[in-house]
Structures are given as structure tokens and as C-alpha cells.
Structure 1
Amino acid sequence: MKILDRYILRKYFTSFIFTLLILIPIAMAIDVSEKVGKFIKNEELTIEEILNDYYLNFIINYGNTFMPLALFISVIMFTSKMSGNSEIIAIHSSGVSFKRFLKPYLIGATIITIISLYANHFVVPDSNKTLEKFEETYLRSIYKKKTKSSVSKVSLQLSKNDYVYFGYFNFKSNNGYNFSYEHFEGNRLVYKVIAQNIRWNDIDSTYRLSTYRKRFIGTHKDSLDSGSFMDTVFNFEPKDLLYVDYLAREMPSLSLSKHIKQSENRGIKSLNNYKVELYKRTSLPVSSFVLTLIAVTLASKKRRGGIGVNLAAGIALMFLYVFFMKVSEVLGSTAESIPLLMVWIPNLLFGVIAAYLYINANK
């Protein structure tokens, strides 16, 4: 690695870390001012729990969220400073092309992207789980609790031929009512089980049906079997009946991907929120390349207004990117959309802008 590469990479990472260390304390200060009253009201809550369970995970979560913003601002700032000091003119005068000048920036963006990908897919979900549990326990009022204690009128497709239906299920008592199970062969119903009550036994992962009836559908005549109790096994757990958005943020990507595939096999349709969460864990880190390229092409040219003009243009583009990102996530969550396409639209759109700026800067 040449001296120029080491010089730019050192500025790249020091500026990035410095910017991140400015943004995170600001976010923490705002958060503390909003929640200090709730912290005080919970007398059993200790300083150690607040720091370890809440703010440590707060830093992980928001640090990863602010990473593209911090990267974009830092690259504009130190590159504009290099341009203002005529360093970039001297670099080009020595025979270094703009394409070669970009090399250390892309190396830095690659390192940031790899770190962010690992954090997004494996670290942040566990952090979100701890953060969600803390907020649910100490910070939300009783009227704003997110945890659903029950569901009603819910069905699952367990396999190609097996379906279950619940009139009601309570997650606290693991008890359900008006349960039915249907088994098909092709389009023909082979048998159906109906029970007034169904209870999940967490110890041995079985279900107990109470006051049940099992009807076998024959070609000419049906047969009926009934009883007070029957212990059996089904290919699902009570948690599979619950589909809420915040659960997706708490799942590692492998578990989330498996959950989406399994849910689709069971006939669940409203999974776009889960897919958006999975896809953006990759699209957001990859934006480091796009934003780095835009920042360098904007800031490498010496301007009369100095660093202020470059910074203003960069922040305007950054807010546009964040705006498009949030809009695409919302649109991607709708039933009619294609989540993968919607999540990647901001990167594709700003990738075109980056390519245009690069071509002009290269000239």
C-alpha cells in the first residue's frame, strides 16, 4: 500500500470515528432528556441496568443506523479540506488519475461495509431484543405495551395438505378454543379434528385436545371418533401464530429468513414487513459505496465557497437519501409491492447519481 493510500485511509477512518462519536452522544443526550423521568419513576431500576441493558444496546443500534450518515459527512469534510489545501490538485499533478485517487476510499468503504453487514445480520438483532425487553419492562406505559397476549380467528397452513384454525389463543396460559385441524390428499378432505379446547405443553412440546371429535371422510360413509382428551403433536408452536413487526428486528438473519420461508409454506401472506427488515440489513451497509463515491466527487473539486458549499450540498443529498429510504421501506411493506425492489431503490437511484458525478469528475 502506497503512502497516498495510507494517508487517505487514515483520514477516512479518523474522520468517520470522530463524526460517529459526535452524533451518538447527541442522540443519547436527546434520549436521556426524554426518558429521565421514566428512569426515576422505576425505583427498582439501577444505573448499571440502564447503562448495560439500555444505553450499551442503544449505542450499538444507533451507531449502526448512523454509520452511512457519519461516513458521508466525514468523507465530505476531510476531502473538502484536502481540496481547499490544494492537496488534490498536487496529487493529480503528480500523475495520479481520479480513478486511482478513489482506490483508498473504496478500500475504506469495503471495510465499513463488511463491519456493518456483520453487525446488521448478527449483532444488532440481539441488541434490539435486549433493548425491546428493557423498554417493554420499564419505559412503556401499561396502555402502550407491545406484547400481544392473545390472537383470534387465526389459521396456519402446516404443510401442503395440513391446515389448522384457532378461534382464540391466549399466549400467557397457552390455551386455545374452537380449534380445528384438516388433512387433505389433493383436493379431497380425508379427516378433520375439532376440539373445544387446546392446550400447549411446553415441557414435551405436545398439545392436549379437550372434548374433541375426529371425523374420517369416507367415499360412501363417514366415521366419527370422539373423546375427552387426546395428546398429539403438530408441526408448529404457539409463537408461530403471532406475527408482529418488532419480532423481525429481534431475529438474526438466518432465523428471519427461515421464518419467512416457513411462514410462506404455511400460507401466511402479510410478510412484507419481515422481508423489508431482512433486505435492508444488506442494502444499508452497501450504501457505504454509493455515499462514499458521491461524497468524493462532490468534495474533490475546489470551490469558491469552500467546505461550507460542499457540506451543504452533501447534507441535502443525504437527507434526500434518508427520505427515499424511509419511503421505500413503507411502500415495500404494503401487500401489493415487491419488497426486494423497493428496499434497493434508494441505492439504485443514488447509484445513478454517483455514476453521473463520477463521469463528470473523471473528465
Structure 2
Amino acid sequence: MKIIDWYILKRFLVTFLFTLLILIPIAIAIDISEKIDNFLEHANLSTYQIIEEYYKNFIIYYANTFMPLALFIAVILFTSKLSNNTEIIAITNAKVSFTRFLYPYFIGATLITIVSLAMNHFVVPSSSKERKKFEREYINSARQKNELKRVTDFSLQLSDSTYIYIRSFNTETKSGYDFSSEVYDGIKLKSKLVSSRIKYNDKDSTFTLSSWKMRKLYKQKDSISSGSKLDTVFSFTAKDLIYKSALSQEMPSGELNEFIGISKKRGVKNLNAYLVEFHKRTSLPIASYILTIIAVALGFRKRRGGTGVNLAIGLGIMFIYVFLMKISEVLGGVAGVNSLVYVWMPNFVFGGLAIYLYLNARK
């Protein structure tokens, strides 16, 4: 690397960190104003606990979320300043092409992308788990807490021939009602077990069924048996049901990928909400390259109005990108669609814009 590369890279990273350090306190101030009443409701909740269990993880989450935005703003600000100071004119007069000029920017974008990927796949999920636990205990309303604890209309394929269904299951008490288990031979029903209540026993990993009834189907006749209580085992545990209600943001990527694979084998119909989260952890950091090209192309030429015009155009483009990203996440979570295509759609669209601006800037 030449001296000019080190100069651009250093100023680029310093501006990026400065922008990030401005955005995070703003987010914290807004969040405190919204949640101060929730904090004051709990007399036993100390300031240290709020900072350690909530705002430490809040900063990790939003620092990672703001990285692409901070990168985009930093590149526009820094490049526009180079242009206004006629430093870019000196660089181009030295026969440095636009492609060569991008070299230190791409090094900086690569460093940020690597950090963002590591945080998205490993750090942020664990941090989000601790933050959401705090929210459930001290911030969420009683209604929200009940919704998070309850799984409704849950079905699961245990094997090629066995299926279960539970009307409602409480992940805290590990009990539910309206349970049924069906065993098939091809498409022919062999047996069906139903019970009004079901409870999981941690001690011996068994299930207790209350008011149960078993029906077995034979060629000539059916066999029906019933009872008030039955202890039995199934090839699933309460943990499988808890995962169903857990937020995908709380699972590290390895655990999330394993959960998706197991759920596919068990015949869970719509996993797109989990797939969207999994794909987004890679697509958003990769967008750093696309946003860098767009930002450099906008700030490369000196404009009437200076940095303010470039920044206004850049913020408009960033708003459109975030808006399109949110729409693609919602559409990608719909059953029956290709979530990968929808999650990467904003990158495809803005990648085309980046190529156009790049080719135009080269001229």
C-alpha cells in the first residue's frame, strides 16, 4: 500500500468510528426516554443491573445494526471532503484511476464486513438472548409475557409414520392440553392417541397424559382403551416446543441452522421466518461493499452545494435501501416463497445501482 492508501484508509476508519459513536448515544437516549417508566416500576432493579444486563447488550445489537449506515455516511462525508479540498483532483492528475482509488475503501469495507459477519453469526445472538430475557422480565407487559410462554396449534413429525399435535403448550409450566399422536402405515391410519392434558417430566424425560384414549385400527375391528392417567415417552422433549416459541434472533447461526434442518425433517411447514434471519446475517454485512461503491461514486465529484448535497442524496438512498430491506424480510417470511431471493433482493437492486454509478464515475 502507498502513502495515499494509508491516508484514505485511516481517515475512512476514523470517520466511520466517529459516525458510529454519534449514532449509538442517540439510540440509547431515545430508548431510555421510552423505557424509563418500566425501570422505575421495579424498586429492586439497580442502575448497574440495567447497564450490565440490558444496555451493554443494547449497544452490541445496535452497533452491529448501524454499521452499514455508519459506513455509508462516513464514506460520503470523507470522500466529499476530499473532493471539496481538491485532493481528488490532485489524485486524478497523478493518473490514478477510479478503480485504483477504490482500493483503500475496499480494504476498510472488508475489515468492517468481517467484524459484522462475526458479530451477526456469533456475538449478537447470544447478546440478544440476554437482552430479551431482561425485556421479558422487566419491560414486557403481562400480556406479552403470556404470549411468549405459550405455543399454540403446534404440530410435529416425529418419524416417517408418527405425527403429533398440541392445541396449546405453556413452555414455563411444561404442560398443555388437547394432545394427539397419530401413527400411519403409508396413508392408512394405524393408531391414534388423544388426551385432554399433557405434562413433561424433567426428572425422567417422560410425558404424563391425563384423560387419555387410545384407538387402534385393525382389518376386522378397532380396539379402544382409555384411562385417567398414562406415563409414556415420545421421541421429542419440551425443549423442541420451547425452540418453537423462541425468537430466531436468539440462536447462534450453528444452532439456528441445526434447528432448521431438524424442523425440515420433522415436516414443519413454514420455516421462512427462521431462514430470513439466517440469510440476513450474511446479506447485510456484504452490503457494505455495495454501499461503499455508491457512496464513493456520489462523493467523488465536486458538486455545487458541497457535502450537504451529497449527504442528503446519500441519506435518501439509504432510506430507500432500509425500506426495501424491511419489505423483503416481510415477503421472505411468507410460506411458499424463496426466502433467500427475497432477503438478497435489496443487494441485487442496489448492486445494479452501484455498477451504474461505478461505470459513470470511471468516465
TM-score for both structures, normalised by structure 2 = 0.93
* Mean CA deviation greater in 209-218 or 126-135: 209-218
Tell me, yes or no, if the aligned pair for 1:106 and 1:289 is still in contact at 8 Å.
Answer: yes
Tell me the matched-pair count.
363
Which residue of structure 1 lines up, in the alignment, with residue 95 of structure 2?
95
Tell me how far apart the structure 1 counterparts of residues 245 and 350 of structure 2 sit (CA, whole Å). 28
**What are the superposed Cα offsets for residues 199-243 of structure 1, whole Å, 9 maximum, x if unpaired?**
211233222334544444333344455555543332222343357
For 2:271, the equivalent position in structure 1 comes to: 271
Distance (whole Å) between structure 2 residues aligned to residue 141 and residue 176 of structure 1: 22
- The 1-side partners of 2:130 and 2:277 are apart by 18
3-state SS, counterpart of residue 231 of structure 1: strand
Counterparts of 1:241-320 in structure 2 under 5 Å?
241=241, 247-320=247-320
- Secondary structure of 2:102 counterpart: helix
**Aligned equivalents of 2:181, 2:142: Cα separation in 1:** 35
Which shifted more, 300-309 or 146-155? 146-155
C-alpha deviation, 1:3, in angstroms:
1.5
Offset of 1:13 from its aligned partner? 0.8
For 2:146 and 2:326, how far apart are their aligned partners in 1? 22
Q: Deviations over 1:161-220 (max 9, x none)?
A: 110122443333322333221222322333333334322112332223345444443333
CA drift of 1:147 comes to: 4.3
SS of alignment partner, residue 251 of structure 2: coil
Alignment of 1:212-231 (within 5 A): 212-223=212-223, 229-231=229-231
1:84 pairs with 2:67: no
- The aligned amino acid for 1:237 is T
- Unaligned residue ranges in structure 1 (runs of 5+): none
How far 1:276 sits from its partner (Å)? 1.3
Contact 2:149–2:172 at 8 Å: present in 1 too?
yes
Two-structure CA RMSD over aligned residues (Å): 2.1
Deviation track 1:296-351 (CA, whole Å, cap 9, x = no partner) reads: 11101122221111111111111111111111112222234322111111111000
Task: For 1:176-187, list aligned pairs within 5 A.
Answer: 176-187=176-187
Conservation of the 8 A alpha-carbon contact between 2:171 and 2:242: no
Q: Say if 1:156 and 1:241, in contact at 8 Å, map to a contact too.
A: no
Q: 1:60–1:124: 8 Å Cα contact kept in structure 2?
A: yes
| Contact in 2 for aligned 1:88/1:300 (Cα 8 Å) | yes
Alignment of 1:321 onto 2:318: no
Is 1:27 matched up with 2:33?
Answer: no
Report the alpha carbon displacement of residue 64 of structure 1 after superposing the two structures with TM.
0.7
Matched, 1:108 2:108: yes
TM-score by length of 1: 0.93
Distance 1:68 1:306, change over 3 A: same
Q: What is the rounded CA distance, in whole Å, between the counterparts of 2:87 and 2:26 in structure 1? A: 32
1:344 equivalent in structure 2: 344
Residue in 2 aligned with 1:361?
361
- Paired AA for residue 54 in structure 1: Y
Identity among equivalent positions (%) equals: 54
Q: Distance in 1 between matches of 2:92 and 2:167?
A: 72
Q: Distance in 2 between matches of 1:287 and 1:245?
A: 30
Q: Partner of 1:333 in structure 2?
A: 333
Contact 1:245 1:274 in 2 (8 A): no
